[in-house]
Chains A and B, each alone.
Chain A
Amino acid sequence: MRPIANTRSVTGIPTGRLAVWWIIVSEIVIFGGLLGSYVMYRLAHDSWANQAAHTNTMAGAFNTLVLLTSSLSAVLAHKAASEGDGKKAAKLLGATICGGAVFLTVKAFEWTHEISIGYTITSNTFWSFYYTAAGLHGLHVIAGMIIMGIVAKDAAKGRELHRVELIGLYWHFVDLVWIFLFPLLYIAK
């Protein structure tokens, strides 16, 4: 049962969405701190370009495409939900979850290959950042997929449709982080 407090909206933004904005704000500073530290080190160490040369740009680009597409299905799910079509929203969220799964699978192959040829988290601080930043981002992908599954299950029954937009917002943010991780870790060589 929702408390009365949850039904009020003094700012004009529904409470759930306001909370997601605050979550995103706190996530911006988490990733900002990590990527800021990375950028400082990266600019101080020209030799890291030799390490970055061993990342697989095409895999990264493919993953960007996957996340952009999953963002598209998430926003289409939001559109469907706002039109009251819970079934369609659930299907589109399902597509988004698949996008996340593809993303993680590609990552798994990438990491396996890199670790097998000796680029582990300890081999160089570039690789430490590579695994830490992508790993933290991957955790967000996993968390988003789990929550999205719950939301999709409800949405299929026409319940809590407003949550489709909330998980979408979060997913777009995860996409946004990757948009910056991709050039930082893969392109800048």
Chain B
Amino acid sequence: MAESVETQAAHHEDAHGHHGEMSFVSKYVFSTDHKVIAMQYLFTGMAMALIGGFMAYAFRMQLAFPGEAVPGYGIVSAANYNALVTNHGTIMIFWVAMPVLIAAFGNFLIPLMCGCDDMVFPKINRLSYQIFLLSAVVLISSFFVEGGGFGGAWTAYPPLSAKAEYSLTKLGSSIWLVAVALEFIAFLLGGINFVTTAMNSRAPGMKLYDIPIVVWMIVVASILFMVSVGPLIAGAFMLLFDQTLGTQFYDPDGAGDPLLWQHLFWFFGHPEVYVVLLPALGIVAEVITTFSRKKLFAYRTVLYTTFGTGVLSFTVWAHHQFVAGIDPRMANIFTLTTLLISVPIAELCFVYIATLFGGSIRLTTPMLWALAFIAEFLIGGVTGIFLGASGSDIYLHDTYFVLAHFHYTFYPIAIIGTFAGITYWYPKMFGRMLNETLGKIHFWGSVISFNVIFIPLFVLGIAGQHRRIFDYRNFPELALPQYQDLRILATFALLVMLAFQVVFLYNFFMSLFKGEKAGNNPWKANTLEWTVPSPPPHGNFAEMPTVYRGPYEYSTPGRDEDYWPQNVPN
């Protein structure tokens, strides 16, 4: 090191004073501060969630009342329907789950929890957000071009996605692809920052086993993303050339093979599930330990199962393609690996449940969300077994059973996990407490209506209803009135769920101004972010902290207080 840490810190203080005079634009729009970037990601993600939610509203209304004009949207044509489901999926995964769970929480938490003043490369971090924002704008612009938005499902299987004469959305499909590619680049840049910061810049004394689980999980998720997305980036170039230049990478008439894209896509697509799952699991670990005042059960087991899951997640991708025309012998291998991956995930759930044993549980709003995550994710996990087993997947593939299954995993991840995180760290982010009553109303409304949406869809899936159909009246066996009633029930529950989000938005924005002042450590938690003022100042720590112990020393015997912050010497 050319300069000692002390002189750096002195420089830093100068800079801090200087930053106080920054204009609004340089402070909130072009800031390199990790907390501001985290907020930018969070708000962009929330805005995109509203768009994605509106799309769900439009196509669910069409399914419940086919052919009738949807209030606020109009008639949903077949082309509209395809574009809506495609972009709903794309937005919810790439522009909501990823930016909120990895980028927003990663940006906010990693420097604070590791005891740094910022990310290691603040400017690259800002660039990452700017590219991400650009990608969101590009995606939204694809809805308004001639021919409309891309409608070939979020998996974008060629030849449908590759040729305009098949998809009828020449511009829409290319713009969609460019937007996704830009988003990948944004997250590659972000991921390098997260991984490097957590590896290299931890506070003195913070050993590998002293890192909070949520940081571990975000780092492992970033690594999974960086290692799995490469082939798809190459594949996206190939698909873009197929679309725009007329190459034949995926065209069987010209020595290509449409299945190559499916492999490239799912080699990324399956680890991607774990990319968003792991940060949510990390958030849940922080919340349940804090509110049950318990040490995390078997910290090292959690870590090892996380690594195991990460590695295994690269070996299971073709279970999405059992009936896609792959060689049937390969399906046996992928069934084996898929069933194997259920073991570490089950173990993680068991560990979290075991953490509650002997605890002193406080059912605050964040705790309710975290517990709901475990309860609902279990359902999502076990229904995956039906689909990972090749024999039953023959029937269930591409039915509403699949749809209900992955919403039972993605809803807990992207919605329940996110709300657990937002309600838990809101005091730290904004310096004020959320309203608990409103929080609980929002919680119960959202979780109950979520189950009422998707349990009927499991039933429809078992009854043989397949996906991405805009009007089931063309299929006599699916047009039966008892099934239509289930569709109407699911749509009704969706409306209820969307209505309850108003409660959250009201609570969120009112509490910014009227919430009770939070203080440094309202939850009496151990990790380093709770040792600084709420919201943390630029540079985070007035004095760079030293770490003396792991993050989950709650209710340690022989101490009066039931928590023991990481930075307190004894």
Direct A–B touching, Cβ under 8 Å = yes
User: Complex formed: what's the CA distance from A34 to B267 in Å?
Assistant: 13
User: Complex formed: what's the CA distance from A29 to B228 in Å?
Assistant: 7
A101-136: contact bitstring with B at CB < 8 Å (1 yes, 0 no)?
A: 000000000000000000001101100110010001
- B556 proximal to A (CB < 8 A): no
- A150 proximal to B (CB < 8 A): no
User: Complex formed: what's the CA distance from A11 to B202 in Å?
Assistant: 10
A136 contacts which of B231, B237, B255 (Cβ < 8 Å)?
Answer: B237
B189-232: contact bitstring with A at CB < 8 Å (1 yes, 0 no)?
A: 00111011101111000000000000000000000001111111
Within 8 A of A (CB), among B308-357: none
- Residues of chain A within 8 A of B191, CB atoms compared: 22, 26
Known: A4-B12, A32-B231. A19 touches B120 (CB 8 A): yes
- B25 proximal to A (CB < 8 A): no
- Residues of chain B within 8 A of A43, CB atoms compared: none
Known: A8-B200, A8-B202, A10-B200. A124 touches B255 (CB 8 A): yes
Contact yes or no, A26 B188, CB < 8 A: yes
- A82 proximal to B (CB < 8 A): no
Contact yes or no, B231 A121, CB < 8 A: no
Known: A4-B544, A121-B247. A37 touches B228 (CB 8 A): no
Contact yes or no, A33 B233, CB < 8 A: yes
- A30 proximal to B (CB < 8 A): yes
- Residues of chain A within 8 A of B193, CB atoms compared: 19
- B3 proximal to A (CB < 8 A): yes
- B129 proximal to A (CB < 8 A): no
Known: A26-B230, A45-B255. A19 touches B201 (CB 8 A): no
Within 8 A of A (CB), among B241-289: 241, 245-249, 254-257, 260, 264, 267
User: Complex formed: what's the CA distance from A136 to B201 in Å?
Assistant: 33
Contact yes or no, A10 B199, CB < 8 A: yes
**Majority SS of interface residues in chain B?**
helix
Contact yes or no, B227 A25, CB < 8 A: yes
User: Complex formed: what's the CA distance from A18 to B120 in Å?
Assistant: 11
Contact yes or no, B226 A22, CB < 8 A: yes
Closest to B206 in A: A10
B375-394: contact bitstring with A at CB < 8 Å (1 yes, 0 no)?
A: 00000000000000000000
- Residues of chain B within 8 A of A31, CB atoms compared: 230, 234
Contact yes or no, A3 B119, CB < 8 A: yes
User: Complex formed: what's the CA distance from A2 to B32 in Å?
Assistant: 11
Contact yes or no, A125 B249, CB < 8 A: yes
- A62 proximal to B (CB < 8 A): no
Minimal beta-carbon separation of A88 from chain B (angstroms): 20
- B9 proximal to A (CB < 8 A): yes
- Total interface residues on A, CB under 8 Å, equals 41
- B529 proximal to A (CB < 8 A): no
- Total interface residues on B, CB under 8 Å, equals 54
Contact yes or no, A37 B196, CB < 8 A: no
- A64 proximal to B (CB < 8 A): no
Most buried by A among B120, B229, B231: B120
Closest to A135 in B: B237
Minimal beta-carbon separation of A33 from chain B (angstroms): 3
User: Complex formed: what's the CA distance from A85 to B118 in Å?
Assistant: 31
Closest to B14 in A: A1
Minimal beta-carbon separation of A13 from chain B (angstroms): 7
User: Complex formed: what's the CA distance from A121 to B237 in Å?
Assistant: 13
Contact yes or no, B196 A128, CB < 8 A: no
Contact yes or no, B196 A19, CB < 8 A: yes
- A50 proximal to B (CB < 8 A): no
A34 contacts which of B116, B234, B245 (Cβ < 8 Å)?
Answer: B234
Closest to B541 in A: A4
Closest to A133 in B: B234
Known: A3-B118, A5-B197, A26-B226. A33 touches B235 (CB 8 A): yes
- Residues of chain A within 8 A of B192, CB atoms compared: 19, 22-23, 26
- B117 proximal to A (CB < 8 A): yes
Closest to A35 in B: B234
- Residues of chain B within 8 A of A10, CB atoms compared: 199-202
Closest to A19 in B: B196
Within 8 A of A (CB), among B107-125: 111, 114, 116-122
User: Complex formed: what's the CA distance from A7 to B267 in Å?
Assistant: 36
Contact yes or no, B5 A4, CB < 8 A: yes
Contact yes or no, B199 A18, CB < 8 A: yes
- Residues of chain A within 8 A of B249, CB atoms compared: 37, 125, 128-129
- B238 proximal to A (CB < 8 A): yes
User: Complex formed: what's the CA distance from A33 to B9 in Å?
Assistant: 44
- Residues of chain B within 8 A of A2, CB atoms compared: 8
Within 8 A of B (CB), among A30-54: 30-34, 36-37, 40-41, 45, 48
Within 8 A of B (CB), among A145-184: none
- A57 proximal to B (CB < 8 A): no
- A9 proximal to B (CB < 8 A): yes
- Residues of chain B within 8 A of A11, CB atoms compared: 199-200
User: Complex formed: what's the CA distance from A28 to B15 in Å?
Assistant: 39
- A69 proximal to B (CB < 8 A): no
Known: A5-B111, A7-B8. 18 other contacts (CB 8 A): A3-B116, A3-B122, A5-B119, A10-B199, A15-B200, A18-B199, A19-B121, A19-B196, A26-B192, A26-B230, A29-B231, A30-B230, A33-B235, A34-B231, A34-B238, A37-B234, A125-B254, A128-B247
A: which residues have CB within 8 A of B?
A: 1-11, 13, 15, 18-19, 22-23, 25-34, 36-37, 40-41, 45, 48, 121-122, 124-125, 128-129, 132, 136
B: which residues have CB within 8 A of A?
A: 1, 3, 5, 8-9, 11-12, 15, 111, 114, 116-122, 188, 191-193, 195-197, 199-202, 226-235, 237-238, 241, 245-249, 254-257, 260, 264, 267, 544
Q: Which 8 A-B pairs have the closest CB atoms?
A: A33-B231, A29-B230, A5-B116, A34-B234, A3-B118, A30-B230, A5-B201, A33-B234
Could you show 22 A-B contacts with beta carbons less than 8 Å apart?
Answer: A1-B12, A4-B116, A6-B120, A9-B200, A10-B201, A15-B196, A19-B120, A22-B192, A25-B227, A26-B188, A26-B191, A27-B230, A28-B230, A30-B230, A33-B230, A34-B237, A37-B235, A37-B249, A125-B247, A125-B248, A128-B247, A128-B249
